């Protein structure tokens, strides 16, 4: 199981064209990663929806499911990963200082931005995700 919730895992599998009864394949994980990349690079719902492998019932339904259900789960998993790394560093007493980008990795995924600075600009200006990419990248 890749996700914390069976329901979210089933939805993610459908979005990448994988039967809910099958295990994750390398191609399915690549497809999921491609959708995540599109999201954090600022693609709109229509562009994301077009790249989902399942039939949609209504306009951009697949993208909505991906953004509202799957992205938070992926963000959570990334946050757990970062916390484990931080705990291991502390456990070994290392003086290693990790970058703000690494520490904010889960938040960047959740908010759909590329790095810490973009995340701060999004919060400061109260931009929506796509708007953030348009305005931040044009500066």
pLDDT tens-digit map of 82-126: 999 999 888 887 777 889 999 999 999 999 999 999 999 999 999
Burial class of residue 7 (count of CB atoms within 10 Å of its CB; 0-12, 13-18, 19+) = exposed
Is the Cα torsion angle 126, 127, 129, 132 positive or negative in sign? negative
pTM above 0.85, yes or no: yes
* Residue 104: how many other CB atoms lie within 10 Å: 21
pLDDT higher than 80, residue 5: yes
Rounded Cα–Cα distance for residues 127 and 66 (Å)? 20
Average pLDDT, the chain: 92
Is the Cα torsion angle 7, 13, 17, 19 positive or negative in sign? negative
- Residue 139, CB-side half-sphere exposure with 13 Å CA sphere: 8
Contact between 46 and 52 under an 8 Å Cβ cutoff? The reply is: no
């Amino acid at each position: 199981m890749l996700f914390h919730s069976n329901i979210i895992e089933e939805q993610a599998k459908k979005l990448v064209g994988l039967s809910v009864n099958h295990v994750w394949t390398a191609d399915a994980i690549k497809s999921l990663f491609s959708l995540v990349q599109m999201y954090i690079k600022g693609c709109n719902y229509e562009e994301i929806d077009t790249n989902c492998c399942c039939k949609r019932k209504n306009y951009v339904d697949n993208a909505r499911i991906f953004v509202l259900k799957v992205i938070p789960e992926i963000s959570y998993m990334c946050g757990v990963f970062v916390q484990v790394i931080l705990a291991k560093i502390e456990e070994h007493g290392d003086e290693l200082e990790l970058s703000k980008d690494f520490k904010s990795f889960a938040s960047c995924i959740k908010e759909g931005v590329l790095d810490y600075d973009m995340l701060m600009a999004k919060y400061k200006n109260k931009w929506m995700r796509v708007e953030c990419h348009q305005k931040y990248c044009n500066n």
